[in-house]
Amino acid sequence: MTEQFPDDEREDKPRAVSHVFTATLDLHQRVAFADRATDLVRNIVAALEGFIEGRVFEADDGKSVIIMTCWKTRHMWAKAHWHQQVQALLAEYDQLGATFADAMWYGGPVIAHKGLTSGAK
Q: Per residue of the chain (121 residues), give pLDDT as tens.
A: 456 666 677 777 778 888 898 999 888 888 889 999 999 999 988 889 999 999 999 988 888 999 999 998 888 888 888 878 778 888 878 777 788 888 888 876 666 666 655 554 4
Among residues 37, 6, 17, the alpha carbon closest in space to that of 100 is found at: 37
The reply to whether the predicted model has a pTM over 0.75 is yes
Among residues 48, 39, 42, 44, the alpha carbon closest in space to that of 72 is found at: 48
> E strands of 15-78, at which residues?
17-24, 51-58, 64-71
On whether the CB atoms of residues 47 and 41 are closer than 8 A, the answer is no
Rounded CA-CA distance 17/76 in Å is 9
Among residues 62, 60, 58, 52, the alpha carbon closest in space to that of 18 is found at: 52
